[in-house]
Structure 1
């Protein structure tokens, strides 16, 4: 096996193309870390991991940082807003600079689509995608899968309905690829202006009433600012047509659960009273972020 192949297997650029075996190995390792909640291990002591966030993030960045520190790594945090990127330095130059300083892995979030795959071919240290444009967000999908597997025992045969702004959602894409690889059925529900036409061949678009019949109803944050002047003039109109209201949630199957990658707009895509209701796994999902990211960092550095 060439050095290049070894490296490419250490990157985590997306869930698309990951085998069922690879997905399950990450989920199994996350289960190990969840069952051993040691605050700090010295598993990866002496390794340097750089968190390179060229796009704002709170939950994902903190979750990665906690995971890295629990594994005993040295953490370097980098925020584009206060860096040379503001002066026109390219993302490639920044990553290359950190690589030349001796980092062992990089966690990276960025706005442009498609740039990460190019970077990964030029950078020798493993890169972990913490969200790139509206392309992928693999660790979010992995923690979603982990939550479903814990809830239902297995993912094969589950029906997962993803509701909201599919067009701009990297979470929807990463979940689609991973869920289908593990044998789940995926359907989308979105107003016409928020549909991603290129995904229609992979998963059908269904009505909100149909989506409520799924085992998992996954709501997405609605970014109304991206759709100014379109079908929905207001949050109220969106909630009436596509929101998970208390009345709609009451129609879900007794065993079904509600998920959301967060942050959420309360009383827009999901009613306030549902965020922490019995069916909701939203905060449970968040708690799985650290063990999943520990598994992913370990995979990159092992």
Structure 2
């Protein structure tokens, strides 16, 4: 369709529109009046005839389009600023809450120490007799073959460890326990507790390891007599026997109060069990 810009009449063909604008008297009158009077677009300041529809001009007015776009951007920015303001208020509120919680933590430091004192005062004595009984009743050669892991498991599973030992400083591996006479032992590094534990169970672990070593030696001798050393892997059996003897030597050092890797591993695992 072709619209006449003066009288707004529509035509199917451009030739009809051209003929109309050249011959139609009422349209010519409008054209004449339009030529005599103009108006200025409020956006682009372009001079337009009164016969030109304002809405039609705005469809092609670039300044009008830009203002519409600027307005949309301005509204979007306004919304963003509003959201940021809300976020700022939320952040300030969270900071206030964090500060309050920090003050609460500071004010409650003393009660934490008091709780530690309460625990220490209620510790059951860690006696040699109880540890010896623990070893006799529960320690097996399979536990010893597992090394420190096996010892910690029988200690924590069959003895009220949490009621007898407390870790007051995990980073320093600081342990506390009560002697039979009621004395509370402060033990940074766990050296005293380790010596007490290993010296108490020494008779039992020595008995078990020596017996197993004897059993392995007899098996090896029997295998050699039967010429089955390769088939029945005598080397592996001897390695097992040697490992048990080495483990016994390390336990003996800890029982005498000496420092070694076994003692360090024992204390580390015990601290993990208590925390």
Would you call these one fold, judging by a TM-score over 0.5? no
TM-score (norm 2): 0.24
Name the larger-Rg structure: 2
Higher RCO (C-alpha under 8 Å, 6+ residues apart): 1
TM-score (norm 1): 0.22
